[in-house]
A and B are shown apart, each in its own frame.
Chain A
């Protein structure tokens, strides 16, 4: 028995990732997109705001990989730079949703008195379609980068709250939590050290999907002109400005759109792969 347990070596993280095609492909695409965005000043051949009226609406070619826009700006450079902001908004909105959602979920799951109120609010918040609620919140708070992040964070927080609450309800009844309580461990410590630590997997999986949805929603808000300022290049604002040139300069909408699809797809693949990796019931290597 001892020999058998000695012989067992847990698979390394890289092996676990490579065993899952979806996770590996998703992480690879996401890494490429993120690296391009972070290294934009080194990778982009032109400045994203460099105007060149003589070169306006040039089709894709050797000089301008993705063509140029109505002001002669290089679409390839703008797509790479826009990735910085689109990824930043998605990540920040996800972080905001995580903080609010986890706090609400764990409080609702732990304290029965708070549960009724929090659950009602969460149910009601989820009755609003994502983008409509985000539009209303941005309209109320005033359009800016910060309000878009806060609005999307508020929109997606209930999804996390619901999952955290459901898992907390189960974990709080487990013997080790009861033991901790009997030992006089303070409630906040039980919540953070004993409950929250066991929620990392479902939170991580859900956060990946929220990241994907937030990026789609941000693009939608920017496209409608109710998100970040149209002068700031995000994939959504780029598609919005290309809308007037449909049929004349299709590349203006095609390339930023492909960037959104690839990034969102990579996040969905990562989310799916993580769920497979972290959910013991789905693990094939245990």
Chain B
């Protein structure tokens, strides 16, 4: 088991190393001089040269790469040009809305998907099951930003139940801030629930006809107990995997949804950085989000070890 954990950990490190290299390459393939692009047409050659030195892009490419790796090992993600602050601090400042948005979205997605997926599998082939299959496909076809706009039209503008946009200002109470997250979380959660529902249904179908489920039934156990305690528990691994991966993907959905709802989160920061060509911020955000994805993957693997006694490596 220790060997398996170590193997997965080393695998994760090697993927992270390639991720870092890809991020380095993406930012460097930008045509023209990044310093000149960032400073705009009014910049003097002296300004451009100063920024080149500050960013370290006046050195040879290999040196830049070594410097970049050294910086990362020290936990330094660089300095934002436009915010004039460390990228790590800028990301941390914006982490709260993104974290809660992702958390609520995954809770909504799982809250919809688990009961619906279990029920669809239990009533396989019925009208309910067919409707669920069609609706999940429809949900997966909806752009979350468009659903967000529709929710704003109905629940914020017409009914006035929720705020239209923003995060309630710096002095707002936690409840006020959270109320700003309801509509974006619903928009993201509904769209994400499609994938989890399909996986839950499929993995429940795999186990519902297994011998131990039949045995549980023949012992006179209630259907509720048979489905939840015996079948669902065994269908949990693929479901947990997809919930974990959806959580990571939600960060990507948050990039667009935060813009719709003007939430001051990481997604909004990335979009502004792209529009202002603030390369260090784009680079830092890409790295952190990819690292979270890789870590979640690693976490899921470790979870397998804990919840499934059959998994012994």
Spell out A's residues near B (CB within 8 Å).
120-121, 123-125, 127-133, 135-142, 212, 216, 219-220, 223-226, 239, 242-243, 246-247, 250, 253-254, 257, 260-262, 264-265, 268-269, 272
Contact = CB atoms under 8 A, between A and B. Distances in A.
Given A247-B158, A268-B141, A135 B29 contact: no
B270 interface: yes
Contacts of B259: 223-224
Contacts of A141: 29-31
Contacts, number: 143
Nearest to B142: A261
A127 B293 contact: yes
Contacts of A139: 30, 274, 277, 279, 282
Contact of B26 (A140, A142, A219, A264): A140
Contacts of B138: 261, 265
Contacts of A121: 18, 22
A235 B143 CA distance: 11
Interface in B1-60: 14-15, 18-19, 21-23, 26-27, 29-31
A272 B164 CA distance: 37
Contact of A140 (B19, B29, B253): B29
A140 B256 contact: no
A243 B142 CA distance: 17
30 contacts: A120-B15, A124-B290, A127-B15, A129-B248, A129-B251, A129-B253, A129-B255, A129-B293, A132-B255, A132-B285, A132-B286, A136-B23, A136-B26, A138-B274, A139-B277, A140-B27, A140-B30, A223-B256, A225-B271, A239-B145, A239-B149, A243-B149, A246-B157, A253-B146, A257-B149, A260-B141, A261-B138, A261-B142, A265-B137, A269-B137
A246 B153 contact: yes
B294 interface: yes
Contacts of B251: 129, 132
A124 B141 CA distance: 26
B153 A123 contact: no
B63 interface: no
Contacts of B31: 141-142
B302 interface: no
A127 B19 contact: yes
A230 B138 CA distance: 27
Interface string B264-305: 000000110011010100100110011001100100000000
Given A129-B251, A132-B285, 8 more contacts: A120-B14, A125-B22, A132-B255, A141-B30, A224-B255, A224-B259, A264-B140, A268-B140
A40 to B, nearest CB: 22
A131 B145 contact: no
**Which range holds the interface residue count of chain B?**
35 or more
B255 A135 contact: yes
Contacts of B15: 120, 123-124, 127
A253 B18 contact: no
A62 B143 CA distance: 29
Most buried by B among A124, A127, A242: A127
A225 B272 CA distance: 10
B260 interface: yes
A229 to B, nearest CB: 14
Q: Which 8 A/B pairs are nearest by Cβ-Cβ distance?
A: A129-B252, A247-B157, A124-B18, A264-B141, A257-B146, A265-B141, A139-B274, A127-B290
Contacts of A260: 141, 143, 146
A257 B18 CA distance: 37
A225 B275 contact: yes
A139 B276 CA distance: 10
B150 A220 contact: no
A136 B274 CA distance: 7
Interface string B123-163: 00000000000000110111101100110110001100000
Given A129-B289, A224-B256, A260-B146, A212 B275 contact: no
Given A224-B259, A264-B141, A136 B275 contact: no
A70 B21 CA distance: 45
B40 to A, nearest CB: 15
B83 interface: no
A128 B293 contact: yes
Nearest to B27: A140
Contact of A246 (B14, B30, B142, B152): B152
Given A129-B251, A140-B30, A268-B137, A246 B290 contact: no
A251 B227 CA distance: 45
